[in-house]
């Protein structure tokens, strides 16, 4: 007889209806306010669930890297599930920026990503995770310092933007301190960074405003 899958779910996931569907699959669910992630499966695997739209928005706001930092600071095996096709939902965000963010999560933060077509596939994936036994396996990757790692990941994202290479990405981040501050900057403020003239400042300003719609 299979043991019951226990899932602690962040209460903010209730409107998605994923919790009720997991319960219908036989999972023993409970709600809490999780400091990181959305679903804690069998007290072993911590899952962050994102729709494709939310993933893109979290890149532009800088929220993605903060969430990765929180996930990696826990003692759990971590996983991100993305529902939908990110490239179809990127609006005016460049493909290079999306690819850079995805690679950053998987390579730099060492958090695997599972791509689900919809919430039903997400439910199936969570149930399958719950049926696996992670006890006794060395799956907890070594921790890395959050501040430095976050800086590197944000540079990795920025250099994927059109006309922004590694050096300019570092200067932007050193000047403004975060992706959020960069995306909120005016064209004139962007020109204060060495290597950004009027035309490039306007292009970046327009890019961030269109991408955040």
Q: What is the pLDDT of residues 89-103, one digit of tens each?
A: 777 677 778 888 888
| SS3 at position 37 | coil
Q: What is the mean pLDDT of the chain?
A: 83
Residue 30's DSSP bridge partners are 8
pLDDT in the model for residue 74? 93
Mind listing the pLDDT tens digit for each residue in 130-172? 988 655 444 444 444 445 546 666 676 676 666 777 788 889 9
Res. 73: pLDDT tops 60: yes
Token duo for residue 64: 């993605």
The total number of residues shown for the chain amounts to 213
pLDDT for position 65: 87
Domains and CATH numbers, the chain: 6-131 (3.40.50.10130), 146-211 (1.10.150.20)
Bridge-based pairing state of the strands 39-41 and 6-10: antiparallel
Rounded CA Rg of the chain: 19
**Average of pLDDT values for 33-37?**
94
> pLDDT for 83-138, tens place per residue?
998 888 777 677 778 888 888 888 778 889 999 999 999 999 999 999 886 554 44
113 against 211, higher pLDDT? 113
Full DSSP string of 63-120 = HHHHHHHHHHTSSSEEEEEEES-GGGS-TTS-HHHHHHHHHIIIIIS---EEEESSHH
Q: Considering the chain, what percentage of its residues have pLDDT values greater than 90? A: 46
Mean per-residue pLDDT, 173-198 = 88
The answer to whether the beta carbons of residues 27 and 7 sit under 8 Å apart is yes
Nearest to 112 by CA among 99, 102, 122: 102
């Amino acid at each position: 007889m299979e043991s019951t899958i226990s899932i602690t779910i962040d209460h903010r996931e209730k409107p998605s209806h994923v919790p009720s569907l997991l319960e219908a699959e036989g999972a023993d669910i409970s709600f809490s306010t999780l400091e990181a992630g959305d679903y804690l499966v069998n007290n072993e695997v911590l899952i962050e669930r994102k729709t494709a739209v939310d993933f893109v928005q979290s890149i532009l706001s800088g929220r993605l890297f903060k969430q990765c930092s929180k996930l990696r600071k826990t003692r759990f095996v971590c996983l991100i599930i993305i529902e939908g096709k990110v490239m179809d939902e990127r609006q005016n965000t460049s493909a290079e920026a999306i690819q850079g963010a995805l690679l950053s999560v998987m390579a730099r933060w060492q958090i695997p990503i599972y791509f689900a077509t919809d919430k039903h596939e997400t439910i199936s994936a969570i149930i399958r995770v719950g049926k696996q036994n992670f006890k006794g396996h060395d799956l907890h990757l070594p921790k890395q310092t959050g501040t430095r790692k976050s800086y590197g990941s944000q540079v990795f994202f920025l250099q994927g933007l059109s006309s922004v290479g590694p050096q300019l990405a570092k200067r932007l981040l050193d000047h403004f301190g975060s992706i959020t501050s960069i995306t909120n900057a005016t064209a004139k403020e962007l020109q204060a960074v060495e290597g950004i003239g009027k035309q490039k400042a306007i292009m970046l300003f327009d890019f961030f405003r269109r991408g955040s719609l």
